[in-house]
Amino acid sequence: MGKLWAGRFQEDANELLDEFNASLPYDKTLWEEDIQGSIEHAKMLYFIGLLEIHELDSIVNGLNEIKQEILQGSFEFCIHDEDIHMAIEKALSNKIGNAGKKLHTARSRNDQVALDFTLYCRKHNILLQQLLSNLIATILYMAKKHTKTLMPGMTHLQHAQPISFGYHLVSWCMGLKRDIERLQYSMKLSDDCPLGSAALAGTPYGNERENLALSLGFKRASLNAMDSIGQRDFALDILYNIAMIMLHISRMAEELILWSSYEFKFITFSDSFSTGSSIMPQKKNPDVAELLRGKTGRTYGNLMSLLTTMKALPFAYNKDMQEDKECVFDSIKTASISIKILTESLKTLTINVDNMFKMCKKGHLVATDLADFLVKECNVAFREAHHITGICVQYAESKDKDLSQIDYKELCNILQNELELLIKKVNSNTNNIQTKINYEKLHEVLSLENSMQRRNSIGGCNSDEVKRQIHTLEQWLCQIA
């Protein structure tokens, strides 16, 4: 049998054109969605009186036989069939005869491919949500164990304030939560079924599109046929969503790479998720995290590829849109394996608690606490407190010590001297500064653990607050399950 569209052509297609034009080598990935759509379309044709019941049964049985052949690997894909849609239709007609030739009534490849591709993206949207949920659950399980494990919180990659490791892990989860919410929103945006739009202008057959949409898992039929076959927003949405997922994964991977280095030694990857060097026998490389970081770039490229393809197309279908699938298939595959391997590698991670605490004693993490102490206990304006604390930090560094390691009596003397100098500078009418330092309170303020626990505002790193954040996220996971 020749090409199904070849009636008006006098010459066969050039073999080079067949190779250039065909999408079958990659769009055969959509075979399951194509068969699903064809079965529901056939039922609709029977409903509106365009098929007899025996023809419907023949089509459905034939398509199910083709499904089994593909699953068993015995179905022969031929590049001359151009795409998965023609391949299945041709095989069906060869199998059941004239009834198979009726299947394409009241539809076009334009709405057929739009349907198949939308179904594929929706299916993998849900799978990505499930994988992300598992990743969040894994991270929260780790976070529960470390709500009191001190580590240096950083900004600009510099030591800033003491936080807990559990708190840091919860921050990872927030971006992943937004990723799931973006995927959920994309599902709502792709809830219009394109099948029945035909080439661009609808059909004269009176297709029962609303029930057809429901049978395929959509909420409704698309409103405008030209738009529904000529847009690929659903594909761009999943590409953007994946790019954001990989952005968050890449940032997590970057921290894991840093933390696993000898300079940090906060975590250790298990041997099962590490690799070695071909020349340096001592090496244990965090290649999983590095590949996660590296694969992010290809998902950005896939998004830009389709954006560029779509940016100047006239409305309705254009052959350029055949370039929409490979980038999506690749990004979905990349994101899926990335989320899976990150989840599994985290389960076997060793957390070096002692080294995290040791590193909290560097970088003057309690400096802000000292400034706050001066504000609350000595009635000093914050900017002045900030200045005095900076002088204390300079003193600590001159002694090659951390601020938390300075003798408290020594620190009290410095503070009292600076407070007395400040009194001389300010207007006597506002001279309410207290120069007497409460030694016990100062001792409490400069405790690393107390510093972490004091930050009990909503969203803070206090252990009970972090437990609340974990509980809130766990409840959310249960709601979306």
Find the DSSP H helices in 260-348: 287-310, 325-347
Q: Which of 164, 197, 272, 277 is catalytic?
A: 277
Q: How far, in Å, CA of 357 to CA of 175, rounded?
A: 26
> What DSSP assignment string belongs to 231-255?
--HHHHHHHHHHHHHHHHHHHHHHH
Q: How far, in Å, CA of 190 to CA of 200, rounded?
A: 18
Measuring CA to CA, how many Å separate 354 from each of 266, 347, 350, 373, 447? 9, 20, 12, 28, 16
Q: How far, in Å, CA of 327 to CA of 451, rounded?
A: 48
Q: How far, in Å, CA of 452 to CA of 460, rounded?
A: 9
Q: What residue has token string 């073999």?
A: 15
Contact (CB, 8 A) for 391 and 403:
no
- 156 belongs to the catalytic site: yes
Contact (CB, 8 A) for 270 and 287:
no
b/e for 379-397, b at 16 or more Cβ within 10 A? ebeeebbbebbeebbeebe
Find the DSSP H helices in 105-224: 109-144, 165-189, 209-215
What three-state secondary structure class fits 73? coil
CA end-to-end distance (rounded Å), the chain: 48
Q: Which helix (H) or strand (E) holds 96?
A: helix 84-96
Largest CA distance in the chain: 103
Contact (CB, 8 A) for 404 and 448:
yes
* Tokens read off for 369: 């606490």
What three-state secondary structure class fits 433? coil
Residues facing 205 on adjacent strands = none
Instruction: Tell me how crowded residue 336 is: count the other CB atoms within 10 A of its CB.
Output: 15
Instruction: Tell me how crowded residue 97 is: count the other CB atoms within 10 A of its CB.
Output: 12
Q: Which of 156, 272, 398, 428 is catalytic?
A: 156
* Helices and strands of the chain, counted as H and E runs: 20, 6
Residues designated as active site: 156, 277
